[in-house]
Homo-oligomer: A and B are copies of this chain.
């Protein structure tokens, strides 16, 4: 049974479980999927029976090898579609996520591989997230969150972890797009808000926003 529901659960468990080491709580899933916790319990019991997850009652859930495999496949589809929508069809990075949420469920890997080929087998999507290859292999990176950046250093924006239209439009406004170079001017000790320079202009970044911007030292 590989329903859209199953695909969405596995993808979400994958996304919530950093490095696939951490166990995912029911509550986290309920929040992300916008579903009642009672329904999550039910679903996890079924996914456990299907051998896609190891669900330990009242403790947490992690993916099995089969679960990871399917999750990677869906994540690949999602990110390839996002990239295609931006690069080939002219959509903005702030509008592709919702569309990809639907397109990712179209069951045809030849289609995905064709799109990937046209795109030159990209390794990162428009939000800087790594795209698994057809075999499920993912490019490793040494990116950090902007909230972990040090004063006076120079960085390049590599990605975001919040895919909401509101956040991405806010970034666009301040030219904080992928590839942009930024210099940390000051970090406010009191609340960790950051003042940085981007395109010669000062931008004030809240700690919350800094958590969602991924950068690399340059």
Q: Which residues does A use to contact B, with CB under 8 Å? A: 85, 89-91, 99, 102-103, 105-108, 111, 114-115, 118
CB contacts (< 8 Å) of A106 on chain B: these are 99, 102-103, 106
* A to B CB contacts below 8 Å, 9 in the list: A85-B111, A89-B111, A89-B118, A90-B114, A99-B108, A99-B111, A102-B105, A102-B106, A103-B103
Contact of B102 with A114 in the complex, beta carbons under 8 Å: no
State how many angstroms separate the Cβ of A94 from the closest Cβ of chain B: 13
CB contacts (< 8 Å) of A102 on chain B: these are 105-108
State how many angstroms separate the Cβ of A201 from the closest Cβ of chain B: 32
Given contacts A91-B114, A99-B108, A103-B106, 14 further A-B contacts (CB under 8 A): A85-B111, A89-B111, A89-B114, A89-B115, A89-B118, A90-B114, A99-B106, A99-B111, A102-B105, A102-B106, A102-B107, A102-B108, A103-B103, A106-B106
Complex Cα gap A102–B102 (Å): 10
A105 nearest CB neighbor, chain B only? B102
State how many angstroms separate the Cβ of A61 from the closest Cβ of chain B: 28
A98 nearest CB neighbor, chain B only? B108
